[in-house]
Amino acid sequence: MSQHDEDRAALQRQREELQARIDAIKSDYAGGLDADFEEQAQQLENAEVLEALLKQAYEELAQIDRQLDKLNR
């Protein structure tokens, strides 16, 4: 396997891992809020962290896609 192919495979693996992370974060959001008010408060605090993680994952995903585009040219 050439270096070019190895680089592409590594980027594809990173992309799959990021997509799995994005899917997990979205799944957390889709779960809705708990019936318990204390738990709701904790979930709302965690929502900010999840939003930041989601934004970072999308930025990394875009960067990987740009790198893959360059390799595929």
Question: To 10 degrees, the CA torsion angle through 44, 58, 25, 22?
Answer: 180
Q: Report pLDDT for 33.
A: 79
Instruction: Print pLDDT tens along the chain (73 aa).
Output: 788 889 999 999 999 999 999 999 888 878 777 788 898 888 888 888 999 999 999 999 999 999 999 988 8
Q: Report pLDDT for 37.
A: 84
Q: Report pLDDT for 29.
A: 77
Mention every residue, 6+ apart, whose C-beta is less than 8 A from residue 60.
14, 18
Q: Report pLDDT for 15.
A: 97
